Amino acid sequence: MIRLFAFRDNSCDPRKCTVKRLEKWGMVRVFDSLARISKSSLILDPTAEQALSPADRGVPSITALDCSWEVLNTGEVTRWPVRRALPYLVAANPVNFGRPLRLTSVEAFAAALYIVGEKEQAKAVLSKFNWGLHFLELNADPLAEYAAAKNSTEVVAIQAAYMPD
């Protein structure tokens, strides 16, 4: 089981915050400072140059950035030792349903867990949301292919087939 962390700045609507619900269920540890998160944690960063892949298996923890990107200290994030971007996936959350790359933090955690081989943990975090498991159904084909890839280069090649022209 991979530990889940989140950096949260409380800028989102608390009624819609998926990290708050995961925290309530004891599934994620939340921090208000990146400095308090272990440097061995993999950060899910959409600006990272490398895509998450099965080659990242064995990470001790995954950290989501659950914050406003307008106030995030991007310099601190870009200096992080292990940063990965998620490949192309479609949101299942009610706010952004069907929109590509508009995932909630729980969807990002689940995608990352699935890709690195922790499928049961991915299902467990999604099960706390009535729409959660639909994320896996909606993205079943790309997630299966990403999880079977050897490395980031293969994941990027696979995602090209799913991206609209």
What are the structure tokens assigned to 53, written together? 């892949």
Q: What separation, in Å, do the N-terminal and C-terminal C-alpha atoms of the chain show?
A: 37
Q: What are 56-75's pLDDT values in tens digits?
A: 999 999 999 886 555 555 66
CATH architecture of the domain with range 3-162: 3-Layer(aba) Sandwich (3.40)
Dist CA 145 CA 159 (whole Å): 9
What single string gives the DSSP state of each residue in 65-113? EES-TTTS-HHHHHT-SSEEB--S-B--STTTTT-BT---HHHHHHHHH
Q: What are 90-147's pLDDT values in tens digits?
A: 999 998 899 998 899 999 999 999 999 999 999 999 999 999 999 999 999 999 999 9
Q: What is the model's pTM?
A: 0.92
